Chains A and B, each alone.
Chain A
Amino acid sequence: MLPVWKWVLARRFSLAECQWHTLGNMNLRSPSSLGIIAALVAALVGCEQAPPPQFHLNEMRMVENETPADYQQEIADVLGAMFGTPDQPFAFPESGLTQTRLTLAAGAAYNDTEGVSHGLYRRHCVHCHGITGDGRGPTARFLNPYPRDYRSGVFKFKTTFAAAKPTDEDLKRIMHNGAPGTAMPSFSLLPNSEVESLVEYVKYLAMRGEMEQRLNQYVYDELADADRVDEKGNPVLDENGAPLKGIRLNPAANAGQQEAVKGMMAEVVAPWNEAKDQVIAPTEEQIPKDNRPAEEIAASAKKGRDLFFSPQKGNCFSCHGPTALGDGQQNDFDVWTKEQKAFLDKTEQLKQSVAERDEQKDLSDDDKTALERDRRLVSEREDVIKTFYPLRNAIPRNLRKGIYRGGRRRIDIFARIHQGIPGMPMPGVGGSGPGVQGTLTEAEIWNIVDYVLSLPYEAISGPQTALPENVAEVTK
């Protein structure tokens, strides 16, 4: 049976084509048929009224900044102006994004009469990465690792310096190869033009997410608590003569805000345009040849092994473990989880403080107002926390499996070791920018690459020093 979700995602047009064909040879009593009927019912009846999917704001960040609801609406409107909607994306002129590609990738999935596929993102990606690119599609909760949340613009598997964005080639490569060992599939069967449209759409969602956070911060810093002024710059007073607070976010009516918003967009876009100048270029002569004799590789791998286990050099074992099973430092988090954890911790603190103040008698009126405000805040924060998936530690890779998410070519492993893995605890050992001195030399990094690639074939020798349960955890 075809997976029901595929139909449903594609239902608007393509469902009509296949439903008769499948109905013909369907056993109406089997449970799968029930599912199909359900999908049909849903397609024909239930969802005609369903509203089109929408981009939603990042509630965690809105609540963290205590951004008032009316400002949230204004942020959503500015984002709508600059990026459009999931059905009608807009390539903002300064974004450098191509409208035709976005249009092909966005919207509902269907094939037109010429056989051109539309709605590529919803067809291939949305059930994991979510409409907003928040990594929270319907499948996401059940995956480990969770799908990438594009909204902070951080990507792991790329050939650029750690602080830089990925190049288009980097994004194409991950789509072509998938991320082996994770749910991220390979899309190597898609034509190049479709891959390019999807890459454009990933960048679009990332820029939208980054712009959202900047707008949120702009409201926090400059608008929400500012004294309101009239056209002449005089303070606006309420009926009691007290100055009114809060300047509305409406770039359509405020030239200064127009400039500010465009400036933020330029800051978001610039690193994407600069990515191609931020590629780590290994020195040509140092790149090991493909046809090296076995002894040469073994000698290089031996050097790499010494570096891997040396605290004065590579120090890789401190995380990947004395046996490289990934059983070293296991209790750190990735940046996406860290943000949620900080949110959780702060909520716990606030809850405790509210409970303590509840116990106190004779609070002043000011204290009571503050207490009520904090109580409301706790409940808003708890609503956000309910939407979290279980937090997981960032576990160092078991390097004996020979599975590399970012690609298994030597140059891929070189890039991982040189710059580390952005967003993850894994640090780099090469220089942090073009021409900047690193911890290890390029030659040493190539030695480690040889060792890493030989690790799956190396016997585990010597006593097992790691805790047995850790080993079980990472090798299962």
Chain B
Amino acid sequence: MGQAKQEMKLFVLSRQTIAVVAVAALAAAVGCNRYSEGPGKVVNLTAATKIRSSLVGQTAEAGGEQAASTGTGWATLKGRFVFDGDAPAMPPYGVNKDEAVCAPGGKAPPQEYLVVDPSSKGIANIFIYPRKVSRVNDAAGPKTDPFLFDQKECRFLTHAFAVSVGQPVEIHNSDPVGHNTSIAGQNTFNQMIPSGDKVPYSAKKEEATPASISCSVHPWMRAYMVPRKDSYVAVTKPDGSFEIANLPAGEVLEFQVWHESASGSNHGLAVQSDETKELKWDNKGRFKIKLDPDQTRELNIAVPASAFGG
């Protein structure tokens, strides 16, 4: 009996306590957590005030920052990327739609995320280009001839390519099914390309790294395109070779090397070897090189499997 009474009392007490705790908890939850404050850094007002007056006030003449173009003459960079190991086998694309067209005879085309030629071990589809140049040779200006970008059997026929800013691109669809071509990045584009038809496109802005191209109707379709202001850009051929001619000599050029499956920062292709160390080749897939006039510098890079992820 007595015990039961005590329990009752406890119960009453705890009800009050619960109420208080609930109020406190609610207060904490409702009151002080109004905004989902992310973990990201926030401003330091003193520093910001100083920067503001420098940006808004009369600024000093900017000078001396522009990399003066010191060199003269032109040079060539060429070479080959080879895979250090057994060529990986590419599994077929995961076709689960429009099979009659996209997997003719029940056979889907192989994927292209790391295309290595079994005999030469050359790695295809690596992008390589200088990030900036101070001079452009007359022969290396932007391209103006139309570029044909086609799709067939639900596969982009060019998997990796470079265009010039403003260069006309004709997007074709040689399939009996409709596709849409969706280009990511600063030159976004997403348009229906009807069966057997073509649609014009051109990139207005230079990209620092290639933009992906996909089709939302057939989500496995994938290609990569980099628009550049000049034609100092190469994509490795099936044997892994590339060549960029007429580069400005006598200045330090920083090259970007990029591959869709590279495990470096932002898909930069990072390679560690004695030769690449000399070139200060970093985890972003960038290296520095200075060419002499009329020089043809050859780079032969053996890329280990570990430079690619997944």
Residues of A in contact with B (beta carbons under 8 Å apart): 4-5, 8-9, 34-35, 37-39, 41-43, 45-47, 50, 53-59, 62, 64-66, 69, 72-82, 85, 90, 92-93, 126, 130-132, 134, 136-138, 140, 162-163, 217, 220-221, 225, 233, 250-253, 255-256, 258-259, 261-262, 310-315, 318-319, 328-329, 331-332, 335, 346, 349-350, 352-353, 366, 383, 387, 420, 422, 425-429, 432, 436-440
Contact = CB atoms under 8 A, between A and B. Distances in A.
A59 B38 contact: yes
B41 interface: yes
Nearest to A428: B191
Nearest to B282: A225
Contacts of A134: 38
A335 B184 contact: yes
Nearest to B60: A255
B144 interface: no
Given A80-B43, A251-B55, 13 more contacts: A34-B23, A34-B26, A50-B32, A56-B37, A76-B44, A138-B35, A217-B208, A252-B53, A258-B60, A352-B310, A425-B190, A425-B216, A437-B200
B49 interface: yes
Contacts of B97: 329
Contacts of A329: 97, 216-217, 219
15 contacts: A37-B23, A45-B27, A55-B43, A57-B41, A57-B42, A80-B47, A82-B55, A134-B38, A220-B266, A311-B177, A315-B194, A350-B309, A387-B39, A426-B190, A426-B216
Contacts of B309: 346, 349-350, 353
A335 B30 CA distance: 32
A422 B60 CA distance: 41
Contact of A332 (B50, B61, B216): B216
Interface string B9-45: 0000000000100111111101111111111111111
Contacts of B59: 255, 258-259, 262
B71 interface: no
Given A311-B194, A311-B195, A329-B97, A138 B36 contact: yes
B208 A163 contact: no
B34 A81 contact: no
B135 interface: no
B296 interface: no
B54 A427 contact: no
Interface in B75-92: none
B65 interface: yes
B63 A54 contact: no
Contact of A439 (B32, B191, B282): B191
Given A58-B40, A252-B50, A387-B39, A53 B19 contact: no
Contact of B54 (A8, A64, A252, A432): A252
Given A46-B28, A46-B32, A73-B41, A315 B197 contact: no
A132 B31 contact: no
Contacts, number: 264
A462 B282 CA distance: 60
B201 A65 contact: no
A78 B131 CA distance: 25
Q: What are the nearest 3 A-B pairs in CB distance?
A: A42-B31, A315-B178, A80-B43
- B-side interface mostly: loop
B1 interface: no
B263 A47 contact: no
Nearest to A138: B36
B28 A427 contact: no
Of residues B36, B219, B266, which shows the largest number of chain A Cβ atoms within 10 Å of its Cβ? B36
B258 to A, nearest CB: 13
B188 A162 contact: yes
A354 B120 CA distance: 30
B51 interface: yes
A295 B195 CA distance: 31
Given A217-B208, A252-B50, A56 B31 contact: no
A319 B197 contact: no
Nearest to A420: B190
A233 B49 CA distance: 28
A349 B310 contact: yes
Contacts of B217: 315, 318-319, 328-329
B192 A439 contact: yes
Interface string B56-74: 1001111111000000000
A81 B40 contact: no
A438 B197 CA distance: 11
Interface in B245-270: 263, 265-266
Max count, chain A CB within 10 A of own CB: residue among B23, B25, B216, B266: B216
A383 B38 CA distance: 11
Contact of B27 (A42, A85, A252): A42
B189 A76 contact: no
B182 interface: yes
B290 interface: no
Contact of B42 (A56, A137, A252): A56
A78 B51 contact: yes
A311 B63 CA distance: 58
Nearest to A427: B180
A311 B197 CA distance: 11
Contacts of B62: 255-256, 258-259
A81 B52 contact: yes
Contacts of B177: 311, 318
B26 A35 contact: yes
Contact of B219 (A90, A92, A332): A332
Given A259-B62, A312-B196, A85 B201 contact: no
Contacts of A137: 35-36
A75 B51 CA distance: 11
Centre residue among B52, B192, B219, B265 by max chain A CB count within 10 A: B192
